[in-house]
């Protein structure tokens, strides 16, 4: 129940209030995570001890890819079902394919023939141009721009205001630093920084 989860709480309230969903609370291993914050719901358990009910649906609001993946795996083993959160201010072209447990924050753009795989997160104002593919668990930070035909493999992190030009591919578990511009393909497990972006 960290900072990003608190943000998503309010966006979920915007998104689900008209869809007969009720926000029950947060899962966390730290019962004090919400102390000092004006949140109307509390911590109702953790990934291991929360008693999952038949109609429960889960949104994973974790900004660290590794922690998010472990949380999903724990909950899936216990029979949890996940839904995608798409804020009503986001622009989603109907031809886009959106997987399970995706979070799309306010003012994002998902264009024609985009594919967002399971548990992708797009933070505020991030955009995916036509024919972009984003692999599982990847994170697009605020104001990221992925231009047409860009492909991100699984578990890629793209920092705030970073841009990837058309047709480029970012390999598995690579990280793109904030404000960087990717102008060539990036192998797996690399860190890219700068304009133009270079492996460091």
**Catalytic annotation, residues:** 130
Report the C-alpha gap between 21 and 179 in whole angstroms. 37
The CA–CA distances, whole Å, from 102 to 32, 40, 43, 72, 118 equal 27, 24, 22, 12, 6
At 196, is the secondary structure helix, strand, or coil?
A: coil
102, 105, 109, 114: CA torsion to nearest 10: -10
- Residues composing the chain: 200
CA 34 to chain centre: 21
CA 47 to chain centre: 19
For residue 154, report the phi and psi dihedrals to the nearest 5 degrees: -65, 145
For residue 75, report the phi and psi dihedrals to the nearest 5 degrees: -70, -40
| Contact predicate 200/192, CB 8 Å | yes
């Amino acid at each position: 129940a960290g900072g990003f989860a608190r943000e998503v709480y309010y966006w979920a309230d915007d998104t689900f209030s008209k869809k007969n969903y009720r926000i029950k609370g947060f899962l966390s291993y730290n019962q004090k995570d919400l102390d000092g914050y004006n949140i109307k719901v509390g911590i109702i358990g953790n990934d291991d001890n929360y008693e999952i009910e038949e109609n429960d649906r889960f949104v994973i609001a974790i900004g660290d890819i590794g922690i998010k993946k472990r949380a999903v795996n724990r909950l899936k083993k216990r029979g949890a079902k996940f839904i995608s959160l798409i804020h009503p201010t986001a622009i989603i072209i109907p031809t886009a394919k959106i997987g399970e447990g995706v979070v799309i924050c306010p003012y994002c753009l998902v264009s024609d023939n985009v594919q967002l795989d399971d548990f992708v997160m797009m933070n505020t104002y991030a955009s995916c141009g036509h024919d972009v593919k984003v692999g599982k668990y990847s994170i697009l930070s605020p104001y990221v721009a992925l231009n047409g035909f860009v492909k991100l493999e699984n578990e890629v992190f793209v920092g705030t205001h970073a841009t990837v030009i058309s047709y480029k591919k970012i390999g598995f578990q690579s990280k793109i630093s904030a404000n960087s511009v990717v102008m060539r393909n990036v192998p797996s497990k690399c860190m890219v920084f700068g304009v133009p972006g270079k492996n460091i």
